[in-house]
């Protein structure tokens, strides 16, 4: 009996991935749960195991090809059946030929249940009410029976505006369509005449052909001036392009800057470093910032929220999950520390170290990179005195950290300048929800907690 090994649901919002490695070949004997394929998603490389033991009889994928959830990757046959098939006379029909007299359609990407469709882009707590009729296939079914990747609220908006979701290319992760995409498509359709059938091209949310950035001029022939090498983008780089383009186009961002005097904090950090190392972690400034930011998010709930434009609501999360950007050879990965406000500094230090290692080894699971409410990007170990991080929707803020340095600070009591260790901080926020005064208070609280560590225990 043949077993089709299909690409399973490997994480919320992940509908396809790029094959980066085929670990077996036709004729190999494999055991159940043995890894067969390495698949690169937006943020990680995962191994797809065999669902049965036997002999590999067919491989349907190649390296650098994309595979959709539900598609058949590899066919595995029981060892006896594989031998019988190999010994059959040339041209003889296989044992399963009768079943093939009525060919079944090729399996397309398996669509998630309607209730789960809207959960791909954001955690369940950030979605608006899901009305039953909005989740049906009629709200945006694809020709192959799958569903257009869009939340029920977005489908409802599309019907209200008369937009065919099949003509909209989403700018979210893995092509997910947002309310902003639908509105932009409707505006573009109203402003420009509808092209005839011969001139029609798949449109993006900005009205540009699919895969073409709106307003971008065609590239020149670089080969005219010398040799060039074209390298396909990795899944991580493609995801970065999509998410950063969407963020820049849809979120009005403002960055507020401040500096924290960490002179005393650095002495404390070095004093307790051995104790944290004994527990298997490292007491880094990032780990301390995790604890401080978690306290700030509890104190300033608007920074721990998301905007639901479709329902015109602000979604305040009752949990504190903080993402930390990790620089890897494959690109920037952002593992998420869940329940950061409920963990002490030792626990945060150990978990952060473990996730950073997994990120650099490309061993993070999709769940370890989902569910974040706020992010920290620390470039202090590399250099620079300031930068403006970009908010990653549906988050509404991100904290950028630059290299600390000694600077002269005026001491009013002694009437002299003193050398103090100052850490530059940059808070970028979504101005639709966060006002400038609120951002200044948030960042000043973070600075105060770094300058007076007891403040975290007192007010955090």
Q: What is the reported pLDDT for 9?
A: 81
- 327-331 long-range contacts, CB within 8 A, separation 24+: 327/382, 328/359, 328/360, 328/362, 329/360, 330/234, 330/236, 330/362, 331/234, 331/236, 331/237, 331/240
Beta strands in 43-109 (DSSP E): 45-49, 54-59, 66-68, 72-77
Q: What is the reported pLDDT for 74?
A: 93
- pLDDT string in tens for the chain (460-residue length): 889 999 988 776 678 888 888 889 999 999 988 889 888 776 677 888 898 899 999 999 988 888 888 899 999 998 765 554 444 444 444 444 444 434 444 444 433 333 333 333 333 333 333 333 333 333 344 333 345 677 767 777 887 788 888 888 888 766 778 888 888 888 777 655 444 433 333 444 444 443 445 556 788 999 999 999 998 887 778 878 888 888 999 999 999 999 999 999 999 999 999 999 999 999 999 999 999 999 999 999 999 999 999 999 999 999 999 999 999 887 889 999 999 999 999 999 999 999 999 999 888 888 898 899 999 999 999 989 999 999 999 999 999 999 999 999 999 989 999 999 999 999 999 999 999 999 999 999 999 999 998 767 666 5
Beta strands in 262-404 (DSSP E): 305-308, 313-316, 322-324, 326-328, 331-333, 336-337, 374-378, 397-401
Q: Of the listed 256, 385, 406, 431, which one is catalytic?
A: 431
Contact of 47 with 37, CB cutoff 8 Å: yes
pTM of the model: 0.63
**CATH code, 121-193:** 4.10.320.10
Distance CA(242)–CA(234), nearest Å, equals 12
Closest CA to 325 of 277, 280, 381, 281: 381
Name the CATH architecture for the domain at 2-101: Beta Barrel (2.40)
Helices (H), 51-133: 79-87, 114-117
Relative to beta strand 72-77, strand 54-59 is: antiparallel
Contact of 376 with 293, CB cutoff 8 Å: yes
Phi, psi (deg, nearest 5) at residue 419: -80, 120
β-sheet bridge partners, residue 376: 324, 399
Q: Where in the chain is the domain with CATH 4.10.320.10?
A: 121-193
Q: What is the reported pLDDT for 177?
A: 86
Before 394, cis peptide (omega within 30)? yes
pLDDT digits 0-9 by tens, 274-298: 999 999 999 999 999 999 999 999 9
Q: What is the reported pLDDT for 81?
A: 58
Q: Where do we find the tokens 């990032």? A: 286
Closest CA to 343 of 278, 297, 292, 291: 291
Q: What is the reported pLDDT for 161?
A: 80
Would you say how long the chain is, in residues? Answer: 460
Contact of 102 with 136, CB cutoff 8 Å: no
Distance CA(453)–CA(448), nearest Å, equals 8
Residue 98: strand, helix, or coil = helix
| Per-residue H/E/C for 180-203 | HHHHHHHHHHHHCCCCCCCCCCCE
Q: Where in the chain is the domain with CATH 3.30.559.10?
A: 253-459
Q: Is 406 a catalytic residue?
A: no
Closest CA to 72 of 90, 93, 51, 103: 51
Q: What is the reported pLDDT for 191?
A: 58
Q: At what angle do helices 285-299 and 436-451 cross, to 10 degrees?
A: 130
**CATH code, 253-459:** 3.30.559.10
Contact of 302 with 336, CB cutoff 8 Å: no
């Amino acid at each position: 009996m043949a077993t089709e090994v299909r690409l399973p649901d490997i994480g919320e919002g992940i509908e396809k991935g790029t094959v980066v490695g085929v670990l077996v070949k036709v004729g190999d004997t494999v055991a159940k749960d043995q890894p067969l394929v390495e698949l690169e998603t937006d943020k990680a490389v995962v191994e797809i195991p065999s669902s049965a033991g036997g002999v590999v009889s067919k491989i349907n994928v190649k390296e650098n090809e994309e595979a959709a959830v539900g598609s058949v990757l590899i066919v595995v046959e029981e060892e006896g059946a594989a031998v019988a098939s190999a010994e059959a006379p040339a041209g003889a029909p296989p044992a399963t030929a009768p079943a093939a007299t009525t060919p079944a359609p090729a399996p397309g990407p398996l669509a998630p249940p309607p209730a789960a469709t809207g959960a791909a882009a954001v955690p369940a707590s950030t979605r608006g009410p899901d009305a039953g009729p909005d989740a049906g296939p009629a709200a945006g079914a694809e020709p192959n029976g799958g569903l257009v990747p869009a939340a029920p609220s977005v489908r409802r908006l599309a019907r209200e505006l008369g937009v065919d979701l099949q003509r909209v290319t989403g700018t979210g992760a893995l092509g997910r369509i947002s309310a902003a995409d639908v509105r932009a498509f409707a505006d573009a359709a109203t402003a420009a005449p509808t092209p005839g059938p011969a001139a029609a091209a798949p449109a993006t949310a900005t009205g540009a052909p699919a895969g073409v950035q709106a307003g971008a001029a065609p590239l020149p022939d670089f080969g005219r001036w010398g040799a060039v090498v074209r390298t396909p983008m990795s899944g991580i780089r493609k995801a970065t392009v999509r998410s950063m383009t969407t963020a820049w186009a849809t979120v009005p961002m403002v960055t507020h800057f401040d500096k924290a005097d960490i002179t005393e904090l650095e002495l404390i950090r070095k004093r307790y470093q051995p104790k944290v190392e004994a527990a298997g972690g490292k007491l880094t400034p990032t780990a301390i910032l995790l604890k401080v930011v978690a306290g700030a998010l509890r104190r300033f709930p608007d920074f721990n929220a998301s905007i639901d434009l479709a329902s015109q609501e602000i979604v305040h999360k009752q949990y504190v999950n903080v993402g930390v950007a990790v620089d890897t050879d494959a690109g920037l990965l952002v593992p998420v520390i869940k329940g950061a406000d409920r963990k002490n500094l030792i626990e945060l230090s150990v978990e952060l170290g473990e996730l950073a290692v997994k990120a650099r080894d490309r061993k993070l699971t999709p769940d370890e990179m989902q569910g974040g409410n706020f992010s920290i990007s620390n470039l202090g170990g590399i250099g620079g005195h300031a930068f403006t991080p970009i908010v990653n929707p549906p988050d509404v803020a991100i904290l950028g950290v630059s290299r600390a340095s000694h600077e002269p600070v005026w001491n009013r009591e002694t009437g002299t300048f003193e050398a103090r260790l100052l850490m530059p901080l940059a808070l970028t926020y979504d101005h639709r929800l966060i006002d400038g005064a609120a951002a200044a208070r948030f960042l000043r609280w973070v600075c105060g907690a770094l300058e007076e560590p007891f403040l975290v225990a007192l007010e955090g």
